[in-house]
Structure 1
Amino acid sequence: MSLAQRDAAVLWHPYTQMQTAPLPIPVVRGEGAWLIAEDGTRYLDAVASWWVNLHGHAHPHITQRVSAQLATLEHVIFAGFTHPAAVELAEGLLQILPSTQNRIFYSDNGATSVEVAIKMALQYFHNHGQPQRRTIIAFRDSYHGDTFGAMSVSARSAFTAPFAPLLFNVEFIDVPVPGREAEVMAQMASLAQRDDIAAFIFEPLVLGTAGMVMYEPESLDALLSICRRHDIFIIADEVMTGFGRTGRLFASDYLREQPDIMCLSKGLTGGTMALGVTSCSAAIYEAFLSSDRTKTFFHGHSYTANPVACAAGLASLDLLLAPESFADRQRIAAAHAQFAQELHGLPGIREVRQRGTILAVEFAPDETTSYFSRLRDEFYALAIARGVLLRPLGNIVYVLPPYCISNAELRLVYDTMLAMRELVVRAATATAPASLPEFPHD
C-alpha cells in the first residue's frame, strides 16, 4: 500500500470528514517554502503549515540547535527542576515582549496557553477575595482553540455546537471593524460597569479563522482603555499574530494600552515543535505568592518547558531577530500591498485585506464566509492542482507564508488566486439571466 493508503487505515485527521475526504497528500520532505510529496510533487506552503512555520522547512540553524539539545538533555520534569534552554528562552522573550510582561509560563500549544491565561485571570480575583469576578468578554467571531476553556471564549459555531451545554458563559461583543467602532465601544462600556467581569480576551488586529477579519489599533486601544479604567484584565491572544506576522514583532506593539497577559505558540518554535507560552505582568504573578499553599497556580503539563522545544524556540528567535528576517517581512508586506492594488476593482473580488505578511482576499458573489461555503473545496482543489497549499476559509483565501518565500514564489501564489477569481467570474456569468426582467415603474 502507498503511504496515503496506510494512513487511511489507521489515522483520524483534524477538521476532516473522513468518510468523504480524499486520501491525504503524503509529504516526505520539506525544503524552504516547499513541501515534497512521496511521488516527488512539490507544494508551495503558502499558509506556513497552519501558520506555524516562520523560516522555512528543515532550516539548518534550527536543526543544529535541536540536534545538539537532543544529545544533551531531551526532557526533565519542570516542577522543582529547570534547565538552560527554558531560562534562556524566557529571558529572550521578555526582552522583546511589551514591557508589561514579567513572567513566562510554559505549556504545550496555543489552546493550552489560552487555558492558562483564563485560569490566571480568574484565580487572581479568587486569591484576592473577589470570586464573583469570573466572566470573560470576547469577540463574537473569535477563535482561541479547541480545549473547553478556549472553546468557551470562542465563537459559537458548528465546531462547538455538540459541546454547547458544557461551555461556560461568556459575554460577546462585536468586532470594531471600520464603521462599527462607536457601537462596539458602547457594548464594552456597558459590560464594564458590571462587578463580575474578570478579563477581555481578543485576537489583536486580525481574527484568523473568522476570515482574517482586520480592525484598527485605535479601535482596540479605545476598548482596552475602558477595560483599564474598570480593572478588567487584558489578554492578548497572539498565537497567530505573534513573531512578526502583522509587520511588527507582536500585534500588541501597535497599541498604546498593553496587555496584562499574552498567549503565544505557533511561530514560537518556527514551526518545529509544539510549545506554548503564557506571559503575564508582575501584579498577576505576585497574586499567587503566599504562605497559603491553596493560592498556588495549580496547572502543568508533563512536557512543560520541554528542552528540545525550548531549543527550537531559541533558534527561531535567533532567526527572527536577524536583519535578514526583518527585510524579508518588509518585502513580503510590500509584495502583498502591490498585489492588493492589482486586484482593486476587478470583478469577482469583494474585498482585499492586509496587515503585514497576512493577505486575505474575499471573493464574490458567495454570500457566506462559512467554512462550509461551496467555494472552499473548489478553491482548495484548484490550488493543489497548481502546486500551492492554500486553506480557504469559505470564500476567503488568505496568504500567510514562511518569511523565506521568494518574490517568484509569491507570484505563483498570486497567480493561483487570480485563477480563483476567474473561476468565480465564470460561475457568475454562467448563472446570470440572459436579460433582466422588466418591471412596471411606480
Structure 2
Amino acid sequence: MNTLAESQTESAARLDAAHAWHPFTQMSEHLAHPRLFIERGEGCWLYDTDGNRYLDSNASIWTNVHGHNDPELNAALIEQVNKIAHSTTLGLAHPTGAALSEKLVSIAPDNLSRVFYSDNGSNAVEIALKLSFQYWQLTGKPEKTGVIALTSAYHGDTFGTMSVGDSGGFHSRFAPWCFPVERIPTPVSDEAAGVIHSEDMSASLKRLDEILDEKASTTACLIMEPWVQGSAGLRLQPRGFLREVADRCRRAGVHLILDEVFVGFGRVGPMLICREEGVEPDFLCLAKGLTAGYLPLAATLTTEAVFEAFLGRFEEYKAFYHGHTFTGNPLGAVVALKSIEKLEARMADGRHAETLAAFEAAVKQYGADSELYPVVRQRGMLAALELPEHPIEQRTGLKVALEARKHGLICRALGDTLLVVPPLVISPEEIDFLFKQLTRATQIVLNDSASA
C-alpha cells in the first residue's frame, strides 16, 4: 500500500463514520466491521481505495449490464454532457428522451405506446398505481380503488409501494399509514440449473378468482413481479403463472401492472418478460438495468387508452400531477439507448445465451450438486444459495459476505441467503472464480461456526 491510498482510505473511513447513514444497513454492524471504499471499476471488477480488486457478483445492486467503465457507454455520456447534462421535461422535451421513448415502445408489448419517466423503481411503481387510480376516476368508475398484490412482494419503499409490498420487517412499522390490499399466495417454483419442479399454482389462481368474482367492479389493478420476486430471496414462480393472471385481469376489467424493475433487460434471459410471454400489461415498470447501472432513471409504460383519458381542458384538472426534478434526464436517456443497443447485439449474436449457459452450469456444479447449500434457486443470470439454518443473531450470511471480500469477491446476503447477480457480460472464467471463492468463503464461515 502507498501512503496516498492509506490516507484516502483513512479519511473516507473517518468521514463515513461521522456522517453517513447507509440504506438497508444496521449501522452498528457497519461501523463495527472494516469498511470497504470502492474507488473505480473495470469490467466486472471493482477496486478499493487501497488498490485491491474484487469481482462484483452483486452487479452494484442488480443494475450493471455491460460491466463498469464501459467505453461505449462512457463515450455516449461524454457526447451528451458536452451538449447538456439536464433539461426539464416539465413542459419541454429533448431529443434523447424522445428517442428513448420510441426505443422502449419498440421493445415492449404492442399495446404499450406511452412512456412516463422517473428516477427509480419505487417511483415507477408509484406512478403506475396513481395512473390506474386516476384513470378509473376519469372514466366514470371512481369506485375502482382496490388493489390485488402477491404475498412476499417487494415493490419499493414509498408509501404506495410499501402498501402493495409484503416485506415483513422492511415495512411493518409503517403499516398504519398504508392502504389495504387484497393478497393472493405466490406459487413457488424450485429451479436450479434448468431443472424445474413447479408447485401447484391452483391455490393462487383460486384465490384470485374469488377476489375477482367478488370485487372486480371495485378493483383498480393487480400488481406483480413476473417470474421472480427479487427481494423475497429470489423466489421463482412457475412458468405460465403470469399468463394465467394476465388472462383473468383482462376478463375482469382490472389493470395489470408488471414490475420488471429487477427482471428486465436480460437479467433472466429475455429483454422483457412480458414480451417473451406474449402478455400485454396495462402498465410496465422499468429501472435498474435500464441504464446498465450508470445513472438513476426509471420508466412507466402504458397504453394509448390510459393516455387519452387524461386529455382535456386545463380547467378540468385531468392532467397527471406527478413528476420529479430529473425526470427524463438526458444523460440517463442516452446511456439507456446505448445500453439497449449493446444488449440487443449480445442477444442477436448468441453471446448472451452462452453466458447464461455458463452461469447455469456453474450454479449446478457449485450449488445444486454440492452439499454446501441446502436450497439453490436459479433462473437466468441470478441465483440464490441458502445457507444451513442458523440463529439470526449469528449473522451467518453477513459473515460469508465479509469473508468473501478477503478472497476478492463482493457479494450480498439477504439474511442467510447468498444472492448471486453478476453483470451480464461476466466471462466463463470470472463465473468460475466467483463460485470458487464464494464456496471457499462459505466453507470457512461454516467450519468456524461448527467449531465455536
| TM-score, length-scaled by structure 1 | 0.92
Q: What code does the residue aligned with 1:270 have? A: A
Answer yes or no: is 1:277 the counterpart of 2:299: yes
Give the drift of 1:325. 7.8
1:15 matched to 2:24:
yes
Aligned counterpart, 1:91: 102
Distance 2:394 2:145 in 1: 36
Aligned to 2:370: 346
Which secondary structure state, in structure 2, belongs to the residue aligned with residue 333 of structure 1? helix
Cα displacement string for residues 300-349 of structure 1 (whole angstroms, at most 9, x for unaligned residues): 11111111111111121221111378634212211222123323353232
* Counterpart-to-counterpart distance in 2, 1:255 and 1:395: 32
Task: Indicate the residue corresponding to 1:355 in structure 2.
Answer: 379
1:257 partner amino acid: V
Residue of 300, 324, 343 corresponding to 1:301: 324
Q: 1:427 to 1:173 in 2, by over 3 A?
A: farther
Match of 1:191 in 2: 211
What is the Cα deviation at residue 400 of structure 1?
1.4
Residue in structure 1 matching 2:115, options 96, 99, 104: 104
Q: Alpha-carbon deviations, 1:336-378, whole Å to 9, x = none?
A: 22123323353232222222111222233459xx8x7732212
The 5 Å alignment of 1:7-156 reads 7-21=16-30, 22-156=33-167
Provide the rounded CA distance (Å) in 2 between the counterparts of 1:340 and 1:8.
37
- The equivalent residue for 2:395 is 374
Q: Which deviates more from structure 2 when the two are superposed, residues 41-50 or residues 69-78? A: 69-78
C-alpha spacing 1:112/1:43, structure 2 compared with 1 (3 Å)? same
Equivalent in the alignment of 1:223: 245
Once the two structures are superposed, the pairs formed by residues 373-412 of structure 1 within 5 Å of their partners are 374-412=395-433
Deviations 1:225-259 (A, max 9, x none): 11111011111101110101111001223324321
**1:91-136, Cα deviation, whole Å (9 max, x unpaired):** 1111111112110001111111011010011111111121221111
What's the secondary structure of 1:239's corresponding residue?
coil
- Aligned equivalents of 1:420 and 1:173: distance in 2? 38
Structure with the larger helix share: 2
CA distance in 1, matches of 2:338, 2:93: 19
| Structure 2 contact 347–353 (Cα < 8 Å) conserved | no
2:15 pairs with one of 6, 29, 36? 6
Residues 133 and 198 in structure 1, CA contact (< 8 A), matched pair in contact too:
yes
Between the aligned partners of 1:16 and 1:325, the Cα distance in structure 2 is: 40
Q: In the alignment, which residue of structure 2 is the partner of 1:312?
A: 335
Distance across 1 between alignment mates of 2:41 and 2:16: 19
Equivalent position amino acid for 2:157 in 1 = D
8 A Cα contact 1:347 1:425, kept in partner: no
Amino acid at match of 1:16: T
Q: Structure 1 pair 341/404, CA: closer, same or farther in 2 (3 Å)? A: closer
Aligned match of 1:434:
none
Aligned residue among 168, 173, 177 for 1:166: 177
Q: What whole-Å deviation, never above 9, does each CA across 1:261-309 have from its counterpart, x for those lacking one?
A: 1001111111111011000011211221223632211111111111111
Shift of the 5–324 alpha-carbon distance from structure 1 to 2, 3 Å rule, reads farther
Q: Is the 8 A contact 1:28 1:38 kept in 2?
A: yes
Cα distance in 1 for residues equivalent to 2:348 and 2:276:
19
> Match of 1:205?
227
Aligned-partner Cα distance in 2 for 1:325–1:376:
38
Q: Gaps (5+ residues) in structure 2?
A: 1-9, 189-197
Q: CA RMSD in A?
A: 2.0
CA drift at 1:64: 1.1
Q: Residue 263 of structure 1 aligns to a residue in which SS?
A: strand
The one-letter amino acid paired with 2:125 is V
Q: Secondary structure at 2:104's aligned position in 1?
A: helix
Partner Cα separation in structure 2 for residue 398 and residue 418 of structure 1: 13
For residues 52 and 373 of structure 1, the distance between their equivalents in structure 2, rounded to whole angstroms, comes to 29
Residue 244 (1) aligns with residue 266 (2):
yes
Q: Does 1:262 align with 2:273?
A: no
Tell me by how many angstroms 1:421 deviates.
5.1
Count of aligned residue pairs for this structure pair? 428
TM-score (norm 2): 0.90
Question: In 1, are the aligned partners of 2:146 and 2:219 still within 8 Å (CA)?
Answer: yes
Q: Which stretch has the larger CA shift, 104-113 or 412-421?
A: 412-421
Distance in 1 separating the partners of 2:394 and 2:334: 41
How far the C-alpha of 1:12 sits from its partner, in A, is: 1.3
C-alpha deviation, 1:168, in angstroms: 0.9
Q: How many Å apart are 1:39 and its aligned residue?
A: 0.3
Change in 2 beyond 3 A, CA 1:425/1:16: closer
- Whether 2:356 is the aligned partner of 1:333: answer yes
SS at match of 1:226: helix
The offset of 1:429, in angstroms, is: 6.2
Amino acid at match of 1:181: M
Identity of aligned pairs, percent? 35
Cα separation, partners in 2 of 1:146 and 1:430, compared to 1, 3 Å: same
- Offset of residue 424 of structure 1: 7.2
2:194 corresponds in structure 1 to none
Amino acid at match of 2:24: Y
Distance in structure 1 (CA, Å) of the matches to 2:428 and 2:311: 51
What one-letter code is carried by the residue in structure 2 that aligns with 1:61? Answer: E
Tell me, which stretches of 5 or more residues in structure 1 are unaligned?
A: 432-442
